Amino acid sequence: MSNQNQHYHAEKATIVVVEDDVHIKHIVEMILFELSFPYHLSVIGNAEEALTYCQQHVCHLLMVDYSLPGMNGLELVAALKEAGFGAPIVLLTGYEIANLERQIADLGIALYLRKPFPKDELLAAVQRLLGFGG
């Protein structure tokens, strides 16, 4: 997979959000609308579809919910990493998860945000991970 964490000033960054909660999807879309650089957003509702999508398309940033139907967010990340996925990943979770920080480090996840996350925190994370400052 050709997913590299580079600066995307010459092209649109592709951001993929994997979230099954319609309300959270809408909130993330509205927050990302405030980004000051061009981007393409794909919002996917389950891990299996996200796995296929990320294997077939360029993805510059992946934001994935921990609690998904079927495969959970960490299982999705593990499957993507095994397939060579290299873009930065943000884990979104509203749950207390035992050993989460160790699991995140083991999987190479860039960071995690606890729901409900502040708008400015999400925007700063996206900008920083895509190389637009922060």
CATH number at residue 91: 3.40.50.2300
Q: Is residue 108, in this structure, part of any structural domain at all?
A: yes
Helix (H, G, I), strand (E, B) or coil at 41: strand
Name the nearest CA neighbour of 65 among 112, 32, 104, 108: 112
108: containing domain? 1-41+55-65+85-117
**pTM for the whole structure:** 0.89
For residue 46, the one-letter residue type is N
**How is residue 16 written in tokens?**
């993929």
Q: Which residues have C-beta within 8 Å of that of residue 114, sequence separation ≥ 6?
A: 93, 94
Residue 52 to residue 130: CA distance in whole angstroms: 22
pLDDT tens for the chain, residues 1 to 134: 444 444 444 478 999 999 999 999 999 999 999 998 899 999 999 999 999 999 999 999 999 999 999 999 999 999 999 999 999 999 999 888 888 889 999 999 999 999 999 999 999 999 999 998 65
Domains identified in the chain, total number: 1
Q: Is residue 106, in this structure, part of any structural domain at all?
A: yes
- Per-residue burial over 12-37, b = 16 or more CB atoms within 10 Å of its CB, e = otherwise: ebbbbbbbebeebbebbeebbeebee
**How is residue 79 written in tokens?**
């499957």
Q: Is residue 129, in this structure, part of any structural domain at all?
A: no
